[in-house]
Amino acid sequence: MNAKTLSSPFLSDLRDGDEFEGFYVVRESSFQIAVNGKNYIRMTLGDSSGSLVANLWDANREIFQLCPSDSAIKILGLAESYRGKTQVKIIRFRSAHESEIEPDRFIPKSSRNAEVMRDETLAFLDSLTDVDYKAMGEAFFRDSELMNRFIRSPAARDVHHAWLGGLAEHTLAVTRLAASFAETARVNRDLLVLGALLHDIGKTEELSAKLAIGYTDRGKLVGHLCIGVEMLTERAAGIPGFPSSKLRLLQHLILSHHGRLEFGSPVLPKIPEAFALHHLDNLDAKVETANRLIDEMPNPEKRWTDYNRALETALYRADGRDGGYPHEE
């Protein structure tokens, strides 16, 4: 390592021409053949600041076996600009030893304070007046082990709220919208608020977050909607006399909140609260996705993002726009 080599920089801080050395997680890795016929390895490297594409040239399949997805590696690399975006040319790398791995460095973390989110979740529980719905909410969120998973879990592998604490951040945003909407709409406020709190609870078991955000075997095989319904049914069995009619309504909110069959919901919304939950959930996810795309634009002079498949459009960055989050003391 020469005197100009940066030591362990975050990926978001790299600029064209920077030589650096540090530990990063391999979020994706694939063996490729270049147009000149030579083999190379294409990776997506990640840390808590984001991700960058990285290439290791003149590679072979034996070397490829040393950098599988969801592994940690130490690299000596060179940041290069390619088509207006920063990429990494890997000069050399090795697998990271377990003692060298710092998981919190690899996965982004919510800007919201975990204890504040915990308190807000419990405050919504306390606001429920229906005895049955309150008992169900407490069966989940008074369980300290589950609450800790809920506060730490990401909401997705990518797209929106894909960071530690993202699940609680997204859930609480949807719940705030639900509580506000219920003030003027003809809906059952307690059903909608509890449905908002529980709509993605299955993600506490669908997703894992060790070196990178990924899916558990159960998550891949079953999915968070079905897992959430299973969790709901199990806890209902532990609440003496919990009405089956209310259990069905809560199950329906979880199963239908994606809104469309092609988006993974096995049933379409069939009660007013289910329509409300679907649209409020979608609203928060879409706005967060849009904000992140704009925030991560690499060129401050650029006005338009690239086309985004999830939003089905490119986004415009307006003058004077503040896309930040409210800060907490």
Domain count, the chain: 2
| CA angle 59–60–66, rounded 5-degree value | 90
In this prediction, residue 306 carries a pLDDT of 87
List CB contacts of 68: < 8 A, sequence separation 6 or more.
Answer: 26, 29
**Is position 311 within any domain?**
no
Per residue in 140-160, pLDDT (tens digit) is 999 999 999 999 999 998 778
pLDDT at 39 over 70: yes
**Residue 213 and residue 149 share a domain:** yes
pLDDT at 213 over 90: no
Mean pLDDT over each residue of the chain, to the nearest integer: 91
**Residue 191 and residue 139 share a domain:** yes
In this prediction, residue 258 carries a pLDDT of 95
Per residue in 17-26, pLDDT (tens digit) is 999 999 999 9
Per residue in 69-107, pLDDT (tens digit) is 888 999 999 999 988 889 999 999 999 988 888 877 888
Burial of 295 (0-12, 13-18, 19+ CB in 10 A): exposed
Query: For 259, left (φ over 0), alpha (ψ -120 to 50), or beta?
Result: left
Distance CA 27, CA 45 (A): 6
In this prediction, residue 328 carries a pLDDT of 52
CATH number of the domain encompassing residue 171: 1.10.3210
**DSSP string spanning 154-173?**
-S-SSSSS-SBTHHHHHHHH
- What SS3 class is residue 70? coil
pLDDT at 309 over 90: no
In this prediction, residue 329 carries a pLDDT of 43
In this prediction, residue 83 carries a pLDDT of 82
Mean pLDDT, residues 266-294 taken together: 94
**Residue 201 and residue 89 share a domain:** no
pLDDT at 321 over 70: no
pLDDT at 322 over 70: no
pLDDT at 13 over 70: yes
Residue 170: pLDDT band with limits 50, 70, 90 = very high
**Is position 309 within any domain?**
no
**Residue 216 and residue 166 share a domain:** yes
**Is position 320 within any domain?**
no
In this prediction, residue 3 carries a pLDDT of 52
CATH number of the domain encompassing residue 18: 2.40.50.140
**Residue 252 and residue 131 share a domain:** yes
In this prediction, residue 85 carries a pLDDT of 85
Least confident of 139-148, 196-205, 227-236, 256-265: 256-265
* CB-CB contact of 185 with 291 (8 Å): no
Mean pLDDT, residues 210-237 taken together: 94
Burial of 75 (0-12, 13-18, 19+ CB in 10 A): buried
**Residue 176 and residue 54 share a domain:** no
Percent residues over pLDDT 70 in the chain? 96
Mean pLDDT, residues 32-52 taken together: 91
**Residue 200 and residue 84 share a domain:** no
Residue 313: pLDDT band with limits 50, 70, 90 = very high
Least confident of 165-169, 198-202, 292-296: 292-296
**Residue 200 and residue 213 share a domain:** yes
pLDDT at 326 over 70: no
Mean pLDDT, residues 211-239 taken together: 94
Mean pLDDT, residues 203-208 taken together: 95
Per residue in 224-234, pLDDT (tens digit) is 999 999 999 99
Largest distance between two CA atoms of the chain: 71
- What SS3 class is residue 316? strand
Query: For 308, left (φ over 0), alpha (ψ -120 to 50), or beta?
Result: beta
Nearest 5°: phi and psi at 261? -60, -40
**Residue 192 and residue 45 share a domain:** no
**Is position 304 within any domain?**
no
In this prediction, residue 320 carries a pLDDT of 60
**Each residue of 141-152: b (16+ CB within 10 Å) or e?**
beeeebbebbbb
Whole-model pTM? 0.80
**Is position 164 within any domain?**
yes
In this prediction, residue 327 carries a pLDDT of 43
In this prediction, residue 227 carries a pLDDT of 97
* CB-CB contact of 193 with 127 (8 Å): yes
Q: In Å, what is the CA distance from 114 to each residue of 235, 274, 289, 328?
A: 25, 28, 21, 11
Per residue in 281-308, pLDDT (tens digit) is 999 999 998 988 888 776 777 889 889 8
Tell me the residue range of the domain where 101 lies: 6-105
